[in-house]
Amino acid sequence: MSNATNIPTVGGKGNYDESYDRFLKAYQDFKGECPKGVTLKLQKSGTRYNLLLQFKQPPTGKRLPKTANLECTPQGVIDGVKKAKLVAEALGTISNASEFWDWYDTTILGKNQIEDNLITYREIFQQLEDEYFAGYNRNTGRKRSRDIVSDLSSYHRTKQIFFEQFPNWDDYPTWESFKVMLYTPLQNGEELIGSKTFKERYYILKAIAKKSPNKDHLLKQLEPINPKQTRFTVKQRIGIDAFKDWWYSAKQEAYTIKSHRISEVRHSWLWVAGMAVMYGLRPTEIAAAVNLTKPYTTEDGVTIKALSDPDNQDNYLVLGDYTYFTDTEGRKVSIKTGGRVIAPIPSPEMFNFMELKRPILPEYTPKEGSQPRTVAAGFNVAFSKHIKAMGCPVTQKYAFRRLYNLLGEKYGVPVELRARMMGHSAIVNESKYKTEGIDATLEVLKGVAKLPVPLNVALERLTALGVDIDSPEAKLFLRVIYQID
């Protein structure tokens, strides 16, 4: 073996840095010190040699060689004996296969008579999917169903899109594969840490970990990571005057379009924009209105007039649980926060300005073969597309809900009632929809200045104006206005 051309290539962690004879002598001298059941093995692959550990591998129990990250050197042999002893000890103490292999890949631990409880990503994903569809919609309490497009879309957005980032669903969960998924860079080039995507990945990995036999190890690795979202999409806002100027300009332009079809389409989406502002609705929710042109009778026998009815002065809008459109298979599209009755902002001037009593609901028909997420979001997407084409100063549909909230505050609608109309809580209303800034504050203050004053203030002001507040007429007016017994 003194001829260098006859010396074999030795694998493992790296080629040996001493003579092959010294390595081979160390291998022969020390391999006998390995414990029973775990041995060193020198394996040739082509012209390459590798130093491995050989033992009965869980869960199959077959005695096979396994790479152990050992150098083909005398020191590598000594390290191999130490690792063999650790493996033998671990085989006698660890009680499940997944923990053994997860550990073996990193720190060389093991166990004996390991229970075959390995579970693949595919099996875990199926469990999470079944649990999701066995649950209930958190906003409405409705049981989820695979026959409802919105539930399929929500499942894809919150779970499946993350499952798809694992390349091999037949692998067993390991921290290495967790890290790859968690830290994959964002496609848009933005920083990953602090993003909404990072937070969502973290919590889906936590759900997967809890289903894994080696959950203690995986959860321990996740524990020190801070998933908090620190970067948010800038919320677009539009003021009252800016909205009215845009709406009126776009309306006038729509009348000048020669194509009747295109003109009608523009009028219909402008009507939706007006409804979003006056009722605080998501565009898709408007597609669930059931009393636009005909009255609606509740289960208790109460009739709510059609919005188009000229005698309807309340202008209540009734939302059903589902939109008028379905996918091509007939599956329904639910609205986010469920059916309810809504009153418009108490501003007859704005209501009449936008001609809301003349409903023009846009037509939307999902294309055949469209994915559930495409169908569920289609009406909203079409709304954003059309208002952008009409030069709207904002493109986010929620900007119109924020304007509704501002108008509600301006006209004295209590926050609890505004929140209820919009389909969420007062806390959500304050955190996500409250319009801040000097301009917004001035708008609210202008509105507050026109609201009724307290009774004692009214009495003082009337007296100062020379009104006899003890007269029968004055007492009658005050009793009606302030509901005095």
Distance CA 114, CA 96 (A): 5
Same domain, 373 and 458: no
**Given this model, what pLDDT does residue 463 score?**
83
**DSSP readout, 11-31?**
-BTS--SS-HHHHHHHHHHHG
Per-residue pLDDT reduced to its tens digit, 461-481: 778 878 888 888 888 877 777
Helix (H) or strand (E) holding 266: helix 260-279
Is 19 within the bounds of a domain?
Answer: yes
Contact 148, 330 (CB under 8 A): no
Domain final residue, candidates 189, 222, 255 = 222
Do 216 and 313 share a domain, yes or no? Answer: no
Instruction: State whether residue 388 is helix, strand or coil.
Output: helix
- At 341, is the secondary structure helix, strand, or coil? strand
- Residue 151 and residue 169 share a domain: yes
- At 144 the pLDDT is 94
Per-residue confidence (pLDDT) for residue 200, from 0 to 100: 97
Query: What residues contact 313, with CB distance under 8 A and at least 6 apart?
Result: none
User: Each residue of 3-15: pLDDT tens digit?
Assistant: 333 433 333 333 4
Last residue of a domain, one of 104, 135, 158: 104
Residues 133, 81 share a domain: no
Instruction: Give whole-number Cα distances, 210 to 132, 205, 220, 231, 268, in Å.
Output: 15, 9, 11, 28, 49
Asked if 315 and 408 sit in the same domain, the reply is: yes
Under the banding of pLDDT at 50, 70 and 90, the label for residue 290 is: very high
pLDDT attached to residue 1: 36
Name residue, tokens 């970990």: 209
Residues 390 and 415 in one domain: yes
Q: What would the pLDDT profile of 426-441 be if each residue is shown by its tens digit?
A: 676 665 656 555 454 5
> Does residue 110 belong to any structural domain of this protein?
no
44 neighbors 29 (Cβ within 8 angstroms): no
**pLDDT at residue 117, rounded to an integer:** 63
Label the pairing between strands 48-57 and 39-45: antiparallel
Domain boundary among 194, 222, 250: 222
Amino acid at 446: K
Is residue 249 located within the same domain as residue 370?
yes
Widest distance between CA atoms in the chain: 126
State the chain's mean pLDDT as an integer.
84
Task: Count CB-CB contacts under 10 A for residue 52.
Answer: 19
Residue 439 and residue 349 share a domain: yes
* 234 within some domain: no
Task: Name the domain count of the chain.
Answer: 4
Question: What domain range includes position 46?
Answer: 4-104
Asked, for residue 377, whether it belongs to a domain, the answer is yes
Mean pLDDT (whole number) for 46-62: 84
Question: Are 195 and 88 members of one domain?
Answer: no
Query: Residue 380: which residues within 8 A CB-CB, separation 6 or more?
Result: 282, 283, 284, 397
The CA-to-CA distance between both ends of the chain, in Å, stands at 114
Strands 303-304 and 340-342: unpaired
pLDDT recorded at residue 373: 94
- Same domain flag for 16 and 91: yes
More confident residue, 460 or 430: 460
Angle, vertex CA 45, rays to CA 3 and CA 102, nearest 5: 130
High-pLDDT (> 90) share of the chain, %: 50
Residue-by-residue DSSP string for 334-373: E-TT--EEE---S-HHHHHHTTTTS--PPP--PPTT--HH
Q: Between these two residues, 139 and 229, which has the higher pLDDT value?
A: 229
- Tell whether 111 is covered by a domain: no
Question: What per-residue confidence (pLDDT) applies to 481?
Answer: 74
Residues 458 and 372 occupy one common structural domain: no
- Decide: 350 and 343 in contact? Cβ < 8 Å: no
pLDDT at 431: 56
| 112 occurs within a structural domain | no
440 and 458 inside one domain: no
Contact 366, 270 (CB under 8 A): no
**Spatial distance between the Cα atoms of 110 and 118, rounded to a whole number of angstroms:** 14
The two three-digit tokens of residue 436, written as one number? 């801040």
Residue 331 resides in a domain: yes
Token pair, residue 427, equals: 């806390």
- 278, with CB counted inside 10 A (0-12, 13-18, 19+), is buried
Compute the average pLDDT of residues 175-189.
92
- Residue 33 falls inside a structural domain: yes
